[in-house]
A and B are shown apart, each in its own frame.
Chain A
Amino acid sequence: MRINQIKKSLSNSTFLIPTLLFFFFAVMYPFFSGFNIAFTNWDGISPKGEFIGLNNFINIFHDPDIIRPIRISVEYALLNTFFINLVALILALGVTNAYRGRTIHRMIFFMPTALSSVLAIFIWNYIYGEVLPEIFGISNPIASMSTVIPAATLITVWGGCGVAMVIYIAALSSVPTEMYESAKVDGANAMHRLFKITLPLIMASFTINITINFTSSLSSTGLFLVATGGGPAGSSESMGLYIYNNLFIYNRAGYGQALAYLFLLIVVISGVVLSTIFRKREVEM
């Protein structure tokens, strides 16, 4: 019995090998091969920097410019996570039941996910920069400090809710239909069924979606780099972009590297905390 279980888990985990290998070579190795840089004052151009111990890490706590990027990243992560999951859940509820045209609807909703994020940004830059001003007389929301974060969020909600939707669809399809039937017999209306049966039973997919969306949007860099460049006037300089700027623009690669490690720690902790909170609410079927 035991041996069978071990065999089973072994054969299951072989599926992870390609991903793990890729993760190791493309993420872990480059990330930690630069570990020593975090303890130097390397400027990013010179052949090497001087060893300065923990100074970079200490300086992080005396850096007044760091507060805004943190605020921007948290604001974006909250907005993005909330709207991706809200939209994805609504779409998933809409396309889970069998009806004519379900497949085509699923495909349409998933399509933006298949686009590369840079391409998505170009499409939205065109919408924001050309379509909105020319046709609707609305000025480019990317160019205003008050609307740049919501405008950037819209791009990622559009491009990111497809994956979350698929996870929700999978969870929704696994909810036994007898439960709904017996609830109906007991006189539960649609709202009751949604909040008392559906949502508790798909809690596991909330854990996955919210944790993944929150941590990935907290560390989001490319979106701001490509779509806004951190502007206007730094109002969309996310934490990821702040690290990038230190590494490549401000000639403080050592500091940027130290910041990257500390920030990684924060992202990991927030991911663990979130998934623990949601795990507790999961219902065993």
Chain B
Amino acid sequence: MKKKFKLAIVLALGMSLLSACGSSNENPVPEATEAAGTTEAKTITLRWMHHIQEESGKAWIEKSTEEFTKLYPNVEFELTAMNADNYNTMLKTKLAAGDAPDIFDIDLNSNPQFVENGYMAELTGPFLDNLLVVDKSKEGKTYALRTELTLYSIYYNKDAFAKAGIESPPTTWAEFMEACEKLKAAGIIPVASGYKDSWTLNNMIHVAKAPSIGAYHESWTQDLKSRKTSFVDDQVGFKDLLNQITYIYDNSQSDPLGTTWDKAQDLLVSGEAAMIINGSWLPGNIRTKDADANLGTFPYPWSDDASKNRFIIAGEAKNSENASYGGGYGAYAKSPNKDMAVKFIEYLGSVENGKIMQDNRKTLSNAKNLPMDFEPTFDSFAQAQSANEVLSYGAFQMDFGGEYDKVFYDEIINYMLSKSRNADETLKNLDAAFDRVAKK
């Protein structure tokens, strides 16, 4: 009796295991892999993997796919949203596993293997002429489309500034420090920092690097990796920047590393904090929290010479030697739906889609000839643009990529958290770490 009972359990367990295997095989197979050659227009499923979490960005994705489906009724989309911190890892894993999405966005400068292994479809055609910035490799080829131009600057709550008696945004570093003091005196946190989401710390540093180093030393990032230059032999003013970054950390709300990006934005919206130092996707995010938020933006004032503190956006390589793959949306070259995926990328580069992007995502489009009145936060930038006062950091690379990024940010966090704040030692540590990674 007992034996029979045991046998029954074993069988039951075995069956459940088998049935589990069976059901996993029934996962929907992408229709895209079906044999080609049928006469009528067969349904094409484009798989798009992205890391857009905020509602404004999702609205842009939804409208874009809807509009594209109107043009090509046989196209369907399968969207996968990822957390920004894990996006690259997931994408690489999917590529290595032969399960790559048809459309994805990637920084090809810090991930050149994507191009070198032939995973990226080349983008050609007249649609590139309608764009403000087109990244071209040394061979003159384009593999990724920038849909937006990130404006790395300081975003501030105008009401909070007014409450603290700050009449106009600071134009020099001295004025910035003065503004922080005034804000603190008025009981307002100068800067909201949400470094629990680690990419926001990276972006704060991008904001500081772009106008100070990026505008003048296009190849700094690559030169550090190839060890042509060093942190100690600081010819770009990185040490000053390190002190500014720490000043920003010290003037944030308590526990910046324990605060999320979402919470930091709440602090800005509520006026508890006055500034966020990040990219131009911020206004779109903020609008989903508070449609009437009174925001403005001003250039990162790294210098004490006000004429140097200008708005800065990406541009094409200033020196052809620094030409690089750039980054943005690309199509998987080995996808059976490559042609349709490329068509969709072309659509994303169109003026029509630029308009959808501006209206929904409230961010700066890379398409030419679009009006700039879609978001009041960018008024100051639009003025600077029409006065021809906007700088370009060309092909300056924001990220080092791979383990370089890890050791770079680890050292900076170490510096921010240390009591002694010995900048020279941090520069030495950075060099030692970069040497170590370069040798691996």
Contact = CB atoms under 8 A, between A and B. Distances in A.
Contact of B258 (A129, A229, A245, A250): A129
B6 interface: yes
A117 interface: no
Contact of B406 (A11, A140, A232, A234): A234
A17 B406 contact: no
B117 A47 contact: yes
A249 B410 contact: no
Interface in B402-440: 402-403, 406, 409-411, 413-414, 417, 436, 440
Contacts of A11: 3, 6-7
Contacts of A232: 257, 413, 417
Interface in B214-268: 254-255, 257-260, 263
Contacts of A15: 6, 9-10
A233 B258 contact: no
A17 B255 contact: no
Sort chain B's interface into a size bin.
35 or more
B113 interface: yes
Contacts of A44: 92, 96
B13 interface: yes
Contacts of B263: 129
Interface string A32-76: 000000000001111100000000000100011100000000000
Interface in B1-39: 3, 6-7, 9-10, 13-14, 16-17
A231 B10 contact: no
A194 interface: no
B114 A249 contact: no
Interface in A245-274: 245, 248-253, 255
Contact of B402 (A129, A133, A234, A250): A250
A45 B96 contact: yes
A200 to B, nearest CB: 32
Contacts of A251: 113, 402
B254 A248 contact: no
B99 interface: no
B386 interface: no
A185 to B, nearest CB: 39
Interface in B162-203: 196, 198
A253 B259 CA distance: 32
A133 B198 CA distance: 19
B352 interface: no
Pick from B17, B95, B196 the residue with the most CB of A within 10 Å.
B196
Contact of A249 (B255, B406, B413): B406
Interface in B87-122: 88-89, 92-93, 95-96, 111, 113-114, 116-117, 119
A237 B422 CA distance: 24
B414 A45 contact: no
B85 interface: yes
A255 to B, nearest CB: 8
B257 A140 contact: yes
Given A15-B10, A129-B259, A252-B440, A229 B402 contact: no
B277 to A, nearest CB: 19
Contacts of A101: none
A142 interface: yes
Nearest to B412: A233
A218 B14 CA distance: 31
A18 B196 contact: no
B6 A64 contact: no
Contacts of B3: 11
Interface in A98-157: 128-129, 133, 139-140, 142-145
B92 A22 contact: no
Interface residues of A, number: 38
A233 B417 contact: yes
A190 interface: no
B402 A46 contact: no
A1 to B, nearest CB: 18
B254 A231 contact: no
Contacts, number: 100
- The SS class assigned to the A binding surface is loop
A249 B403 contact: yes
Contacts of B93: 248
A189 interface: no
A255 B437 CA distance: 13
Interface in A16-32: 17-18, 21-22
A14 interface: yes
Nearest to B6: A11
Contact of B196 (A65, A140, A252, A255): A140
Pick from B96, B411, B414 the residue with the most CB of A within 10 Å.
B96
B254 A139 contact: yes
Nearest to A47: B117
A119 to B, nearest CB: 16
B258 A142 contact: yes
Nearest to A42: B96
A231 B198 contact: yes
Pick from A45, A234, A255 the residue with the most CB of B within 10 Å.
A45
B436 A64 contact: yes
Given A17-B14, A140-B196, A249-B406, A45 B92 contact: yes
A18 B406 contact: no
Contacts of B417: 145, 232-233
Nearest to B15: A18
B89 A234 contact: no
Given A140-B196, A232-B417, A129 B113 contact: no
A18 B413 contact: no
A245 B88 CA distance: 12
Nearest to A25: B21
A128 B92 contact: no
A233 B259 CA distance: 16
A46 B113 contact: yes
A59 B440 CA distance: 9
Contacts of B88: 249
Contacts of A46: 113, 116-117
A212 to B, nearest CB: 22
User: Which 10 residue pairs spanning A and B have beta carbons closest together?
Assistant: A140-B258, A143-B258, A143-B257, A233-B413, A139-B255, A250-B403, A18-B13, A233-B410, A45-B113, A248-B89
19 contacts: A11-B6, A14-B7, A17-B10, A18-B16, A45-B113, A65-B436, A129-B260, A133-B254, A139-B258, A140-B255, A140-B259, A143-B196, A143-B258, A229-B85, A232-B413, A233-B417, A248-B89, A248-B92, A248-B93
Given A232-B417, A252-B403, 4 more contacts: A11-B3, A142-B258, A145-B417, A234-B406
